[in-house]
Structure 1
Amino acid sequence: MTSPIDFAALVAAAGDAVVVSDPSGAIIVWNPAATRIFGYTAAEVIGQSLDLITPERQRRRHWDGYAKTMQTGVTKYGADVLRVPAIHKDGHTLSIAFTVGLIHGPDNAVRGIAAIIRDETQRWNDERDMRRRLADLESRVA
């Protein structure tokens, strides 16, 4: 017989950020990897808006989609990896990749959205630098 899984321990041990927000967009779960990636402690973000990590220029689109998901109980991003900019506590921009999942209550209503997030800033910067070097080399050959 297997022992029951301690889901809080699983979330805490995850190498990727686990961020869960309630129907209003307030953060209700924030694991140690989220602290490592974004710089905020759980105590600083629990109950706060996702605006803490969402760049201002993306907020309207984010909240429009968030509201639609809460109303319909459907997300078009369930299996897709999304790549977007985000904001670190100190203000610098991050490049993150994440997947989302809807958390349903016993009545099947959406009670929250869980995001599993990875910091891809270094990869994004490396790819940008490689594209620049390639363009420079191609311009020298032409």
Structure 2
Amino acid sequence: MPHDIDFAQLVSNVGDAVVVSDEEGAIVVWNAAAERIFGFTQAEALGRSLDLITPDRHRQRHWDGYLKTMQTGVTRYGSDVLRVPALHKDGRALSIAFTVGLLFNADHKVTGITAVIRDETDRWNEERQMRRRLRELESETNSVGH
């Protein structure tokens, strides 16, 4: 594997959103896929809080976990895929799936969090419709049988 990989180019061209936030939760990396998924341009997102894409009702829990991770240097999520609601620039609710990774300085202090994010809104809506249809069919079957 060559050692001259252009990591800025890699992040910029990858199909999933790459969002990196600093110790305070300000966005410091926002790639083209993040623009596509969330609707905010890089200029609109950089320097802004992650509240930009976090629904109001989830913000307290998000920040509690974020600050604890910054203090301890440990995330309880590891390589787990997290599925949470998010916000699009136009106000639409999104369903996203993502993994997180911690960034450390030479003193092993956390300096930021990287999230690699995929929009799963369509899949989530399809699954919700299938569950609803299944409940309807089960209901019909139960009423016919009685």
The one-letter amino acid paired with 2:57 is R
Which residue pairs with 1:123 in the alignment? Answer: 123
Q: Given the alignment of the two structures, is residue 71 of structure 1 paired with residue 62 of structure 2, yes or no?
A: no
Question: TM-score by structure 2 length?
Answer: 0.95
Which residue pairs with 2:12 in the alignment? Answer: 12
- Structure 1 pair 4–65 and aligned structure 2 pair: CA distance change class (3 A): same
Which residue pairs with 2:57 in the alignment? Answer: 57
Cα RMSD, aligned residues only: 0.9
- Structure 1 pair 110–2 and aligned structure 2 pair: CA distance change class (3 A): same
User: Which runs of no fewer than 5 residues in structure 1 stay unpaired?
Assistant: none
Deviation at 1:74, TM superposition (A): 0.3
Q: Secondary structure of the residue that 2:95 maps to in structure 1?
A: strand
Which residue pairs with 2:106 in the alignment? Answer: 106
Which residue pairs with 1:41 in the alignment? Answer: 41
Distance 2:77 2:90 in 1: 29
Distance 1:98 1:6 in 2: 23
Distance 2:105 2:30 in 1: 20
Moved over 6 A (4+): none
Distance 1:80 1:23 in 2: 21
Distance 2:11 2:107 in 1: 24
Q: Given the alignment of the two structures, is residue 28 of structure 1 paired with residue 54 of structure 2, yes or no?
A: no
Larger Rg: 2
Deviation at 1:2, TM superposition (A): 2.8
Deviation at 1:88, TM superposition (A): 0.2
Q: Secondary structure of the residue that 1:113 maps to in structure 2?
A: strand
Distance 2:115 2:91 in 1: 21
Question: TM-score by structure 1 length?
Answer: 0.98
The one-letter amino acid paired with 1:131 is R
| Post-superposition CA distance 1:57-109 (Å, at most 9, x none) | 00000000000000000000121100000000000100000000000111111
The one-letter amino acid paired with 1:93 is A
The one-letter amino acid paired with 2:115 is A
Report percent identity of matched pairs: 70
Deviation at 1:3, TM superposition (A): 5.0
The one-letter amino acid paired with 1:50 is L
Distance 1:15 1:78 in 2: 22
Q: Secondary structure of the residue that 1:18 maps to in structure 2?
A: strand
